[in-house]
Structure 1
């Protein structure tokens, strides 16, 4: 991973410093780029909220080979991790690799390790076109995300996404605040419950399931459940759309408690290693999305870089499970967290 990160640092110069600790301090306000909006406070809150979570170490047990496997929305996963939807290599990451090579690395590298990669959307069109092509080439094993566009554009994007053969499709409604799209004259907007219900009906009618990304309060999670959304992602878009939001680890427990059993709960934001994955699962998530570290791995090592990062993540998650006495993913609960029960 050191060689992969060193290569990424060269290729992403001026856009991402590939810091030893990816906490948003060096890149605050760099949007476009890889930083957080404004002061970068929301980005940093994701990290500090996770860092504040502590684990109960337990070693009087018989867990030595924990099972990391899970099933999410009909997808079998070697561990409850997905690569988050990120696109725009040229204006966010420096263009050291092409959009096509980048997203192919995400999708293919994840699939090689039994995970699933998500693809992004945006402007110019080659962002979503590259993603759709990568999922199609993978036989539909990938999750395309579309932005909350209006009218015909949304319908066309949904149709193209479904044509990839995917079994799950997502919308990052948190993209409603993206500066990059506004600068390009293509702002997107929030969705009403009625609009979301129509999208869910369309996706379900095509035989796929629907994920809504960008939930940061229990009220929105409940509305998502009411209109038939299959899964939500607790996310503040990596701190890139609204400054001074809480970290996702802060709001996750209340959201999970409100809708657990009605839909799947995913989360992203500040997750860097397998111990962070464990913490998010213990706080109530069914699975975890990871963004920037996957991007660095893909730029620095393409599919092999992604696979290497996944291997590292799994080793860290397994270690955390052993040292907390967690035999399988379903057994990870708040009992593993110090002071949280």
Structure 2
């Protein structure tokens, strides 16, 4: 004794054992031609009994999925805490490039946190660093260091956006369970990733890898901050020591290139083009610094002439 559901042109689209208020309230007997035709076109599949092995496999998969959900919850908090530290390190570097070493001012911090969006903060910090190196040629090496950090910041920002705008999701597809931080479930890209056999989002293992990538980034930012601050306070004698400290953290940096649509995609190292730009800029800044030193030397000789 089914109740039927129809579309806007009157075609039957579903049958129910009980009345469904608002969309399936029409009753038809079992032997009605429309009911028999619908059941013939859309037969109910045969139910297959679950074996003990299948039940045990489902139990193991559910347990693993629940563990991954709990792990992702903890890792999300850990990632956001690390991101907060990274933001503070970048803000402190921005302030160090602008502040005078003998004054205490929060104007630079007010400007930094007044900028809307992380990309704007990266851009402002980069502009300040480039101008500082132009004003103080002995600090020319901060520019290639910043270029490496800038690349790393922009790559890890993609993971931050995915974590901030995604959600922990469990998806059943083709007999498998997927647990990860994904975009909303109605995003059609999820279906494409599943059909391709790949995870539709960040897994717990991948998010742990991203967290491990944040630490050397903000440590390198802090060392670049130290390099600038110590130079401003004590002069060029501080540069050899602070440069060694900065290089030790830059050598551990592995900026990742993440597929903006699928953050679980493979992550190559810094692109060859970026490395070439860094090396070219280092050479140009060294030449400029040498030229300016030569100009100052010539000027002093002319002044000493009778």
Q: Which has the higher contact order (CA 8 A, sep 6+)?
A: 1
Superposition TM-score, scaled by structure 2 size: 0.26
Rg bigger for which structure? 2
Q: Choose between structure 1 and 2: higher helix proportion.
A: 2
